[in-house]
Structure 1
Amino acid sequence: MTEEYLEFSILSDRKYTRNSLWMQMVDKDDGTWKIGVADDLVQELGDILRVNMAVLPSDALADNAVSETEFDFGDVPDAFSEGDVLFSVRAAEDHETFLSPCAGKVVEVNNELEAQPESITNDTYSEGWVLLIKPHDFDEDQLLDADEYIEYLSGD
């Protein structure tokens, strides 16, 4: 029996959540952060075929409708709460829904992903960013640095 290993990158200039989002401070004075999908999950999912933008209350997950619903990029409201559904990605045989690690507002959406979702697969840490957000009352200490995230992934 052979074991399969995924090769992926974890960048030291990012912070990470336990649900495989990367976050990068863009403007410390303004408090804005870019959010994207961490490369370990991108490699596990395979080619990303679609990005669904949606900021939905966390109780929408109970309806199991999130994974089956298509959302237009224009449907993203300005504000969201911690635990709300921010977006989802669909690969050939799987999908993943991402919950917000904080409350805040959406400053910008990477509209390029509507036509080119493969940007997440090809360059998740640059062209594949998903949202620019401005958190409210956000404790950055809840995020993991690169070493902590690697340790978290290894299960130690």
Structure 2
Amino acid sequence: MAEDGDIEFSVAEDRRYTKEHLWLQVIDREEDEDGNVQTTVKVGVSEYVAAVWGEFIRVTLPNLSALDGFDEGEEKSQEKSGLEGELAAEDILVTLRTADDVVLLDSPFPCGILELNGEVEDSPDLVNSEAYGDGWLMIVRPHEYEEDHFLSPQEYIEFLAESL
């Protein structure tokens, strides 16, 4: 917090945002044999969340073995698709714990999980200090991704200004 009580945080310009304060960064787009576009998205928490709720002392990512689409007996299909699990829209994407509160953030879309950043569970401070860098949460492949459904950096700033 700044001395005058204002909240200090930054908003990265190269991503989209949700009203639940997640950031979404497209890291790959490719077209499959059928002409369908597959988008790969890195997901994280905006700096605003830590600025408002305080320092995170624990980060819990989804338990892949409890998710739909995870079956240890189907390792070949998992390797072929690259997916480690599935999240439905509004499934809990991440649980963030502060000294005084628990923050649950839901998935903004149905998606397959390609990779979890276990470093944030081992070092929750990464979400506080490196929200737009090493503090990312996961890499996913949304079943449908429409960039226009999410807030641009300027729209996110305007949304925050209205809600403060």
> Which bracket does the TM-score occupy, shorter chain normalised?
0.7 to 0.9
Residues in 2 aligned to 1:123 and 1:33: alpha-carbon distance in whole angstroms:
18
CA contact (8 A) 1:103 1:138 kept: no
Q: Which has the larger Rg?
A: 2
Q: Give the structure 2 partner of residue 126 of structure 1.
A: 133
Q: Give the structure 2 partner of residue 151 of structure 1.
A: 158
1:11-22 superposed matches below 5 A: 11-22=12-23
Residues in 2 aligned to 1:14 and 1:79: alpha-carbon distance in whole angstroms:
23
Q: Which runs of 5+ in 1 are unaligned?
A: 55-72
Residues in 1 aligned to 2:58 and 2:64: alpha-carbon distance in whole angstroms:
15
TM-score between both structures, scaled by the size of structure 2 = 0.78
Identity within the alignment, %: 31
Moved >4 Å (runs of 4+): 73-76
Q: Give the structure 2 partner of residue 99 of structure 1.
A: 106
Deviates most, 88-97 or 123-132:
88-97
Q: Give the structure 2 partner of residue 85 of structure 1.
A: 92
TM-score between both structures, scaled by the size of structure 1 = 0.82
Q: Give the structure 1 partner of residue 24 of structure 2.
A: 23
RMSD, aligned α-carbons: 1.7
Residue 159 of structure 2 aligns to a residue whose secondary structure is helix
- Alpha-carbon distance, 1:138 to partner: 2.3
- Alpha-carbon distance, 1:141 to partner: 1.1
* Residue of 46, 49, 53 corresponding to 2:61: 53
The residue type equivalent to 2:148 in the other structure is: D
Residues in 1 aligned to 2:26 and 2:91: alpha-carbon distance in whole angstroms:
21
Q: Give the structure 1 partner of residue 142 of structure 2.
A: 135
Residues in 2 aligned to 1:26 and 1:52: alpha-carbon distance in whole angstroms:
23
* Residue of 45, 48, 59 corresponding to 1:40: 48
Residues in 2 aligned to 1:119 and 1:20: alpha-carbon distance in whole angstroms:
16
Q: Which runs of 5+ in 2 are unaligned?
A: 31-37, 68-84
> Residues 76 and 124 (structure 1 numbering): CA distance in 2 closer, same or farther, change over 3 Å?
farther
